[in-house]
């Protein structure tokens, strides 16, 4: 494969990489610019990373774009983030579709502004038959909220007599979460130095590998993605067993 900056084993590419895109604000601040400037720059990184992930043969990419806690931010910043989502999809949909990317979402999409819902619906509909990279956008997403929804859903199935309490197992819970059609992440990347999950994919990361970098999201690029994958490939995943 061309343009490899690290000695990546192209036969051992992780299937699913989940990314906590952090540091847009700090990146902007270091340039004496408003936080929203950082978010705009961050969209460029999404473009690069999605393209590179697709090229490397990664099957699933999940991007944490807006958490259930991010509503606490100033209204203007929230509006900018929602606007960037719409403009990203408007601009990129054609190319994403041509690159065989399927767009899906996790999180409570109904809680987003209507323009976002409409744009997301169109993007999902247009790319629904693509069988290349699956790009999941985590929007108004919280890992705990997702588990609460699953518990309610399963409780209703029991109440309606469709399943017995004894039928509840890990597989059923996995199949009831919003990540139901995708494998658990092999690798979770968080940029910008913070080493926490911030309510991302709590159930799904039980055996994921974690990679933290001090690089702010707007400075993350193809080379940084390859570095994370190379680092991941040096790990020994034991899943509780012995070698
Ligand atoms: C990540 O960058 C973008 C979102 C959370 C939407 P931040 O906005 O969190 O940037 P910092 O952490 O304040 O630098
Ligand atoms: C996590 O980043 C959420 C997203 C990347 C969308 P935050 O910047 O919101 O997380 P905290 O507040 O530092 O934990
Ligand atoms: Mg942050």
| pLDDT, tens digit, 9 for 90 and up, residues 80-125 | 999 999 999 999 999 999 999 999 999 999 999 999 999 999 999 9
Confidence (pTM): 0.98
Six-digit token string for 212? 């933290």
Alpha-helix residue ranges (DSSP H) falling in the chain? 24-29, 35-56, 75-98, 114-127, 143-159, 170-176, 222-233
Ligand 2 centroid to Cα of residue 114, in Å, is 23
Q: Which ligand is nearest to the CA of 42?
A: 1
Report the C-alpha dihedral over residues 59, 65, 68, 74, rounded to 10 degrees: 180
* Average pLDDT estimate for 128-155: 98
In whole angstroms, give the CA distance from residue 69 to residue 119.
23
At residue 32, the pLDDT reads 98
Residue 234 has pLDDT above 90, yes or no: yes
Six-digit token string for 182? 């995708």
At residue 74, the pLDDT reads 97
Q: Which ligand is nearest to the CA of 69?
A: 2
Give the number of the atom of ligand 1 that is nearest the alpha carbon of residue 27: 14
> Which active-site residues does the annotation give?
22, 70
In whole angstroms, give the CA distance from residue 42 to residue 38.
6
DSSP codes joined into one string, 71-85:
GGS-HHHHHHHHHHH
At residue 243, the pLDDT reads 83
All domains of the chain in start order, with CATH: 16-142+184-232 (3.40.1180.10)
Six-digit token string for 60? 């699933």
At residue 176, the pLDDT reads 98
In whole angstroms, give the CA distance from residue 221 to residue 231.
15
| Tens digit of each residue's pLDDT (9 = 90 or more) over 58-88 | 999 999 999 999 999 999 999 999 999 999 9
Q: Is 23 in the pocket of ligand 1 (CB under 6 A)?
A: yes
Q: Is 22 in the pocket of ligand 1 (CB under 6 A)?
A: yes
Six-digit token string for 111? 């809680």
Nearest to 64 by CA among 192, 181, 164: 192
Per-residue DSSP letter, 54: H
Sheet containing 16-20: order of strands: 102-106, 134-141, 60-67, 16-20, 187-190, 209-212
Pocket of ligand 2 (CB under 6 A): 20-22, 64-67, 70, 194, 196, 198
Do residues 214 and 26 lie in contact, with contact meaning Cβ atoms separated by under 8 Å? no
Percent of the chain with pLDDT over 70: 100
Do residues 46 and 91 lie in contact, with contact meaning Cβ atoms separated by under 8 Å? no
Q: Is 81 in the pocket of ligand 1 (CB under 6 A)?
A: yes
At residue 44, the pLDDT reads 98
Ligand 2 centroid to Cα of residue 217, in Å, is 12
């Amino acid at each position: 494969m061309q343009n490899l900056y690290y000695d990546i084993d192209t036969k051992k590419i992780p299937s699913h990489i989940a990314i906590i895109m952090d540091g847009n604000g700090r990146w902007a601040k270091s340039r004496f610019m408003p936080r929203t400037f950082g978010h705009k720059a961050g969209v460029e990184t999404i473009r690069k990373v999605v393209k590179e992930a697709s090229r490397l043969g990664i099957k699933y990419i999940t991007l944490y774009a807006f958490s259930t806690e991010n509503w606490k931010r100033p209204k203007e910043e929230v509006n900018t983030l929602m606007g960037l989502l719409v403009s990203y999809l408007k601009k990129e949909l054609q190319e994403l579709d041509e690159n065989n990317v399927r767009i899906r979402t996790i999180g409570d999409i109904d809680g987003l502004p209507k323009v976002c819902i409409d744009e997301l619906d169109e993007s999902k509909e247009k790319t629904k038959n693509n069988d290349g990279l699956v790009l999941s956008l985590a929007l108004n997403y919280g890992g705990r909220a997702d588990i609460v929804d699953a518990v309610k859903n399963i409780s209703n199935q029991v109440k309606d007599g469709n399943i017995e309490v004894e039928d509840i197992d890990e597989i059923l819970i996995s199949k009831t979460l919003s990540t139901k059609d995708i494998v658990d992440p092999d690798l979770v990347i968080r940029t910008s130095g913070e080493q926490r999950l911030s309510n991302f994919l709590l159930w799904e990361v039980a055996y994921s590998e974690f990679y933290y970098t001090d690089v702010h999201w707007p400075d993350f690029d193809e080379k940084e993605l390859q570095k994370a994958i190379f680092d991941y490939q040096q790990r020994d995943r034991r899943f509780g067993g012995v070698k």
